[in-house]
Amino acid sequence: MTTPPIRAPKPVSRAGRFSLWRYVRAFRKDILGANPERLYRAKMAEFRIPFLHTFLVNEPPLWRHVLTERPQDFPKSPRMAAGLEPLLGQGVFISNGPLWERQRRIIDPAFEGGRLRDTFPAMLASAEGTVARLTALAGEAPVELDGPLSHATADVIFRTLFSVPIEDQTASAVYKAFRDYQGTQPLLNLAAFLPLPRWMPRMHRPSTLRAARKIRALITGLVARRRAEIAAGTAPDDLATKILTTPDPVDGQTFSDAEMIDQVAVFFLAGHETSASALSWALYLLALDPALQDQLAAEAEAELGTTPDFAAISRLRLARDVFREALRLYPPVPMMVREAACPVTFRGRPVEKGAQVVVSPWHLGRHAQIWEQPDDFCPARWQTAEGRSAVRDGFIPFSAGPRVCTGAGFAMIEGPLLLAMIARALRLAPVEGREPVPVAQLTVRAKDGVWVTLTRRAA
């Protein structure tokens, strides 16, 4: 008897045409469901509404042209940055040009291979704490995963960045304030639809601004404390110390406190929220496949043993494939928006200067012309020739080219490690009647959370 494929939940695409105002409202609430089903097959799509001309590019030569071949001609769109500036300032996630280049020259050395090995003990401690907290929740009652996993990835960030666990008073306060921020900030604010000059207010909700100010004030204290520890010679050798003491090889200057505050806010958004999103979806998909869970538990038992070391990560092949498959189906950042800095032509269509160009990891990861059974959860595809070919054309959850995510290697250690350790300790099962519906908030999350039941595995 053939086992039926496991279909990964997907939002219902809109049918028919929307009025402009209805489309804007739907787009702000959820980009994924506001767009038509044809985008999962299209090589390119063009959208034109007042003040906004947008091209979505799915064809591999087109997205490569934008991200890897001519990235200087397609900087990050200031329309998208407008929604995140209260939290991220001019951090590396939204900056452009010489400022971004300088930031990357200072940040990138902290995430090189040798430094990632140094972060492993902190990741392992976070993973052990996560398993203990989830094990305490095991039983018949359903468990919502987003909260525990957001806690887990925030703990990883604070341990690797500042050498403090999430239980630290300041770290805990940042985490809680960020949850408030996420609840008030849509992925796009109205400034994304209007060509507003930079000096004009961006119409943020008062609650969004309050949460952003609180987060940045708490980060200011962390940075000031670390700066004092560096001056006293007592600073731990973690990511924050590495970044604060690395001079730009071009101008010889290190980050100021204000610049570091922007970067820490970016690390928290990019390193905590995105990882939590990916892990929640990965565990839900595992819950749909008990046999795969058993295979993953066996791999974890064989490769991690009682005292896991950094070398074990490279042997967690199945855990890595499960995590990558979850990233394909649920890329935490569903769309990357660039702005054409000069006129260009895409597939015979003129793209004027100032037009918005969207590269969508969400649509590429489920594109019918790139992947076989694109909506099926199938980690085995990562070990096939067809799968590896599709990866080259349609798997960019960390972006691509010069702006590829600095923390991609970090995430590919953290994710498989947490999945393996959780699967070794617990069995997961879906909750009837609570299939998650993906929506795009700051990241791709489930509308009403990801719910499972947890059962302890026999020792």
Domains along the sequence of the chain with CATH: 20-456 (1.10.630.10)
- The identity of residue 11, as a single letter, is P
Q: What is the pLDDT of residue 212?
A: 87
Q: pLDDT tens for residues 24-52?
A: 666 666 778 778 889 999 999 998 877 78
Q: Which two tokens stand for residue 154?
A: 């925030």
Average pLDDT over residues 241-266: 96
- Taking the C-alpha atoms of residue 352 and residue 242, their distance in angstroms, rounded to an integer, is 42
Q: Work out the angle at residue 226's Cα, subtended by the Cα atoms of residues 225 and 228, and round it to the nearest 5 degrees.
A: 65
Owner of token pair 């590919």 = 412
- Taking the C-alpha atoms of residue 367 and residue 43, their distance in angstroms, rounded to an integer, is 9
* Element at 339 (helix H, strand E): strand 336-339
Q: Distance of alpha carbon 147 from its chain centroid, rounded?
A: 16
SS3 of the chain: helix, strand, coil, percent, to 5: 55, 10, 30
The sign of the torsion formed by the CA atoms of 436, 437, 438, 441 equals negative
- Taking the C-alpha atoms of residue 163 and residue 188, their distance in angstroms, rounded to an integer, is 33
Average pLDDT over residues 328-354: 95
Q: What is the pLDDT of residue 72?
A: 96
Q: What is the pLDDT of residue 80?
A: 73
- Taking the C-alpha atoms of residue 329 and residue 314, their distance in angstroms, rounded to an integer, is 23
Residue 345: strand pairing partners = 350
The answer, yes or no, to whether residue 15 has pLDDT greater than 90, is no
Average pLDDT over residues 183-206: 57
